[in-house]
Amino acid sequence: MTTEPLRWVKSSYSNNGGQCIEWAPSVVPTSGTVPVRDSKSPAGPVLSIPAAAFAGFVNGVKSGTFDS
């Protein structure tokens, strides 16, 4: 990843008081991965997801693939 502190971004939909994630988009172009963490536990673990997999997940959410 990077040795500089990550700048975390939370979704504008995150005002629901609950289950939110944050991501650090600034490192995606240089690392090819998307750092993701639980917004309720900022000192907790960070997942590094391949950018293509993260894009596929976001597209699936938008298209309703994961709706029950």
Can you give the chain as a three-state secondary structure string?
A: CCCCCCCCEECCCHHHCCCCEEECHHHHHHHCEEEEEECCCCCCCCEEEEHHHHHHHHHHHHHCCCCC
16-33 per-position pLDDT tens digit: 666 788 999 999 999 999
Instruction: For residue 12, give Cα distances in angstroms to 5, 29, 49, 63.
Output: 22, 22, 21, 19
Q: Supply the mean pLDDT for the chain.
A: 87
Q: Is the pLDDT of residue 54 over 70?
A: yes
